[in-house]
Amino acid sequence: MKILNVVGARPNFMKVAPLMAAYETCPTIQPVLVHTGQHYDERMSDLFFRQLGIPQPDLNLGVGSASHAVQTADIMKAFEPVVLDQHPDAVLVVGDVNSTIACGLVAVKLGVRLVHVEAGLRSFDRAMPEEINRLLTDAISDLLFCTEQSGVDNLLREGIPDERIFLVGNVMIDTLLRNKAKADASNILDELNLTTGEYAVLTLHRPSNVDDPSVLGRLLNALEVIQKDLPIIFPIHPRTRKNLSRLGLDQRVKAMSNLRLIDPMGYLDFLKLTSSAKLVLTDSGGIQEETTILRVPCLTLRENTERPITAEVGSNRVVGTDPAKILGAYREVVSGRWRRPQVPPLWDGAAGQRIVKILCETLA
């Protein structure tokens, strides 16, 4: 049984790593790894393959960056001949990036079964490109693997038959637990001259935050205050770096001496950096989940989350982009008033094995 596994953008790599490892327990599955090339910089792609021990992709479609329509169409055009040539029994996609929906659509149009890992998450915000990718991918998938109960509930409400939905836990957390000891040995704190618990980490890349000068300006107002008493380490996404200069905000950022912009980091250094931080400020989805397991307070700089369990039982609070709200939550963290998080059900490091067992039993 041949399964084509698709990755494209940075957060996909941590999700596919445990699956590639778990396939070894099911000799009847022949996994093929396809990289669409949506992300291509060494620090956005290759570094993750090396650090996470992911086998080199069998195929790289080399699609690269473009507008949504062009990127999605280019991925589809490049992926269709691969499916025709490989004759897979199933295509497996992860997450919610353009590569996910593009390859999913190609698969089902060719009559190939589609498997979606990290299904059912909903922010209920259709202005978010990933929400469209999630809704559409789930609507056409044959097997849907969920990380949290809200995902199962959303899918059932959307009319997906119960027997196609599986609550299996979180493959991103499998990767975190598998690599935590290795990450602990990273000397990134020394390299950046940081002390455990005495700095914050910031990541920002959502178009709603970094493409709009008024929103980005509001976020900078809050960061200006925080960096006065706590260094903020900001591994900056290429999209955000380009926008700071395009929107004329780079001088304002430069003037904040304690807001330290650094290049995107590898997985292990970033895990060490976040696990030792006082708090994390982010608009990422995956980092809300990782900080929950690391028990590090997380302020999510968005109006909503598609991962509600991280705010219900985890260390996450969705604070939006209003500086007053961000600073209010920040002060709670520094004064020690923050919930001690619990681990969501099944986030135990074995999600990849559960998925492969189900694939082995149901696709055969």
- 327 burial type by CB count under 10 A (0-12 exposed, 13-18 middle, 19+ buried): middle
The correct pick among 36, 38, 282, 300 for binding ligand UD1 (CB under 6 A) is 38
HSE-CB for 208 with a 13 A CA cutoff: 16
Least Cβ distance, residue 350 to ligand UD1 (angstroms) = 25
Element (H or E) spanning 250, and its range?
A: helix 250-254
Options 32-40, 267-275, 289-297, 327-335: segment touching ligand UD1 (CB under 6 A): 32-40
Task: Tell me the per-residue interface mask from 77 to 96 with ligand UD1, x by CB under 6 A, - otherwise.
Answer: -------------------x
Distance CA 193, CA 190 (A): 5
- In this structure, which amino acid lies at residue 362? T
| CB-nearer residue toward ligand UD1: 9 or 34 | 9
Which CB contacts under 8 angstroms, 24+ apart, belong to 136-140?
136/101, 136/104, 136/105, 137/93, 137/96, 137/100, 137/101, 137/104, 140/104, 140/105, 140/108, 140/114
Element (H or E) spanning 144, and its range?
A: strand 143-146
Least Cβ distance, residue 236 to ligand UD1 (angstroms) = 11
Phi-psi region of 11 (alpha: psi -120 to 50; beta: other; left: phi over 0): alpha
Element (H or E) spanning 272, and its range?
A: helix 267-275
Binding residues for ligand UD1, rule CB under 6 A, total: 19
Distance CA 80, CA 286 (A): 29
Query: From the CA atom positions of the chain, what is the Rg in Å?
Result: 20
Least Cβ distance, residue 212 to ligand UD1 (angstroms) = 14
Q: Does residue 203 touch ligand UD1 according to CB under 6 A?
A: no
Q: Does residue 245 touch ligand UD1 according to CB under 6 A?
A: no
Least Cβ distance, residue 131 to ligand UD1 (angstroms) = 10
Least Cβ distance, residue 79 to ligand UD1 (angstroms) = 15
In this structure, are residues 54 and 35 in contact, taking their beta carbons and an 8 Å threshold?
A: no
Q: Does residue 9 touch ligand UD1 according to CB under 6 A?
A: yes
Active-site option among 39, 116, 205, 237: 205
Q: Does residue 35 touch ligand UD1 according to CB under 6 A?
A: no
Task: Tell me the per-residue interface mask from 119 to 148 with ligand UD1, x by CB under 6 A, - otherwise.
Answer: ----------xx------------------
| CB-nearer residue toward ligand UD1: 95 or 297 | 95
Q: Does residue 217 touch ligand UD1 according to CB under 6 A?
A: no
Active site residue 116: no
The correct pick among 3, 4, 6, 11 for binding ligand UD1 (CB under 6 A) is 11
Q: Which residues are catalytic?
A: 205
Interacting residue ranges for ligand UD1, rule: CB under 6 A: 9-11, 38-41, 44, 65, 96-98, 129-130, 205, 237-239, 242
